[in-house]
Amino acid sequence: MLDDAALDQIFRQARTHNAFSGEVTDAQLRALWDLMKFGPTTANSQPARIVFVRSREAKERLKPALNPGNVDKTMSAPVTAILAYDLEFYQHLPRLFPHNPAMKDAYVGEDKKQFVATVALRNASLQGGYFIIAARALGIDTGPMSGFNNALVDEAFFAGTTWRSNFLCNLGRGDPSKLFPRSPRLAFDEACKVL
Amino acid sequence: MLDDAALDQIFRQARTHNAFSGEVTDAQLRALWDLMKFGPTTANSQPARIVFVRSREAKERLKPALNPGNVDKTMSAPVTAILAYDLEFYQHLPRLFPHNPAMKDAYVGEDKKQFVATVALRNASLQGGYFIIAARALGIDTGPMSGFNNALVDEAFFAGTTWRSNFLCNLGRGDPSKLFPRSPRLAFDEACKVL
């Protein structure tokens, strides 16, 4: 079992930050992928894709898609990750799931499109959870956000591709003085049952 | 930053297990929730719900929904978690998101049903990621599975409610001798871009 300091760092004391400074290096971004990639996904499908937005030009491309309350913190964050997924993730299954090279067939075809979209969203979001925890484990503060226009991000970054945006996440060194008070969590007996 | 032993335990050496023994106590299940509950969700919505299936009776209710390859490991696992979500998660927002009590209104209405379902799946799956990592952090081995019939699970466990199944996860002490070889992961440059 992890010690208290580690559990505090990845869960109990970790917070969603609203103001960031510092720098996030390419080496840190690679280390982040090299942790989160090990998290399990359906048939090892790994549908998540990530665009790390760091340059001024790319930040300006992102800006029109942001809800007003998310503009300042995103424009000033060292890096903003676009957590996305590839709707054609299944093309890689023969390599990624060598136990059963026929697994790809379960996803091919017009009548499978809704199923494919569900599997992509489910598993890319699972990987989003791994991403947030892996960042925290590496000492990178996170600010995940759903407050943006997915269609505008897709147009600005993924036009003509099969990638689609899922959520955004600012990365950097969080400013503890800009945190909101922590909001309440559901109690075990509200969210869970043991049968 | 977490030390190598901790990173190994939650990511690098952790595996999806196929055979389980041991016991998972109620205290462990509560500890698991009390870690994963801190993971961030859209507007602190926390749509995930969990049914921990431990009794013989409840396992037998689950059995008909399982793909043949998942029956033996699930029936013999100490606990099988049904990771689910509540499609009416937004009813709790006035309490869970006190910053903005009007947030609930964004989810109410017939025309919001598709949006609500997407937010529920996205965030419950994020919480699924927290669940898997939290279990590993507590020393509980995991075996997440999508290989089952969601509609049958919903009928058997959630009839007449707004809860819907997302994925299953066996919990217990994994048997390392029953592991498959680890499947390949996408390289950084296949899944990520830095702009």
B91-103 residue pLDDT tens: 999 999 998 989 9
The CA-based angle A67-B37-A175, given to 5 degrees, is 50
Q: What percent of chain A has pLDDT over 70?
A: 100
Sign of CA dihedral A58, A53, B131, B174: positive
B158 φ, ψ to 5°?
Answer: -125, 20
Burial class (CB in 10 A: 0-12, 13-18, 19+), A124: buried
Q: Does B193 touch chain A (CB under 8 A)?
A: yes
At residue A146 the predicted structure's pLDDT band, cuts being 50, 70 and 90, is very high
Q: Is the pLDDT of residue A176 over 90?
A: yes
Q: Characterize the bridge pairing of strands A163-174 and A141-145.
A: antiparallel
pLDDT for B61 equals 98
Q: Give pLDDT, residue B164.
A: 98
The predicted structure's pLDDT at residue B56: 98
pLDDT of residue A108: 97
Give the tokens for residue B37.
Answer: 């509950």
CA gap B96, B68 in Å, rounded: 40
Q: What is the DSSP letter of A83?
A: E
Chain A positions in Cβ-Cβ contact with residue B144 (cut-off 8 Å): 40
Bridge-based pairing state of the strands B163-174 and B141-145: antiparallel
Chain A residues within an 8 Å CB radius of B7: 35, 137
Residue A132, pLDDT above cutoff 90: yes
Average pLDDT of chain B, as a whole number: 97
How close, in Å, is residue A59 to chain B by CA atoms?
Answer: 9
- Would you place residue A101 in the very low, low, confident or very high pLDDT band (cuts 50, 70, 90)? confident
Pairing type for strands B48-53 and B141-145 reads unpaired
pLDDT value of position A66: 98
Residue matched to tokens 């919903």: B154
Q: Is A160 on the interface with B (CB under 8 A)?
A: no
Mean of pLDDT values over B155-159: 98
CB within 8 Å: A123 and B125: yes
Tell me what the mean pLDDT of segment B26-30 comes to: 98
**Among B24, B31, B21, CA closest to B173:** B21
End-to-end CA distance of chain B: 26
Cβ(B134)–Cβ(A6) under 8 Å?
no
Is the model's pLDDT at A170 over the cut of 90? Answer: yes
Torsions phi, psi for A5 (to 5 deg): -60, -40
How many Cβ atoms from other residues are within 10 Å of residue B50's Cβ?
A: 25
Residue B63: is its pLDDT beyond 90? yes
What's residue B101's pLDDT? Answer: 85
Contacts of A55 in chain B (CB under 8 A): 195
The alpha carbon of residue A85 and the mean position of all alpha carbons in its chain are separated, in whole angstroms, by 9
Distance, in Å, from the CA atom of B51 to the CA atom of B16, rounded to the nearest integer, reads: 20
Q: How buried is A9 (Cβ within 10 angstroms: 0-12 exposed, 13-18 middle, 19+ buried)?
A: buried
Tokens at A102, concatenated: 């026929």
pLDDT digits (tens, 9 = 90+) for A22-55: 999 999 999 999 999 999 999 999 999 999 999 9
Q: What's chain A's average pLDDT? A: 97
